Amino acid sequence: MSVRGINHITIVVRDMARTVRLFVDALDAVEVYRSAEKEYSKYPEVFLRLGDAWLVVMQDPDVQRLQSYDHVALSVDADRIDEIRERLRNAGAGVVPSRPRIAAEGASIYFYDFDNHLFELHAGDLGERLRHYSTGK
């Protein structure tokens, strides 16, 4: 197959420093690059590592984004769901109720960042979901 996986995710935000703090403080992201005065891209940028994921946060003070259900889902351990939810709330993220779920889907936390990007922190995987769906229950 030509596509092996997601390479990176880029979000454009009004206040890069504030958004970076959210991911570092609440989700233990590690900053691995900051463009500073060198701009190789369209906007100033910070690269974050979230587990195996590479998140690029770019700054455009004029960006406007409406809330939608389009989202990025990141994997988390089920036993850390409550702790992570509290850390997100303490960091000022807009934690929202999860959609109705069946237990086989795994737990999730949904949150909006400060620019209306929706993220899901999910404690299940595709194999588990497909096994459950195949039973027809």
Calculate ∠ Cα 28-36-60, nearest 5°. 80
* Predicted confidence (pLDDT) at residue 116 exceeds the cutoff of 80: yes
The total of other beta-carbon atoms located within 10 Å of residue 21's CB is 14
Given a contact cutoff of 8 angstroms between Cβ atoms, the answer to whether 77 and 123 are in contact is: yes
> 86 an active-site residue?
no
Domains and CATH numbers, the chain: 9-135 (3.10.180.10)
Amino acid at 78: A
Q: According to the model, what pLDDT value does residue 137 have?
A: 59
Integer Cα distance of 63 and 80 in angstroms:
33
* pTM, to two decimals: 0.87
Give the rounded percent of residues in the chain with a pLDDT score beyond 90: 72
Structure tokens at 10: 């880029």
Q: Which one is catalytic: 31, 37, 39, 45? A: 45
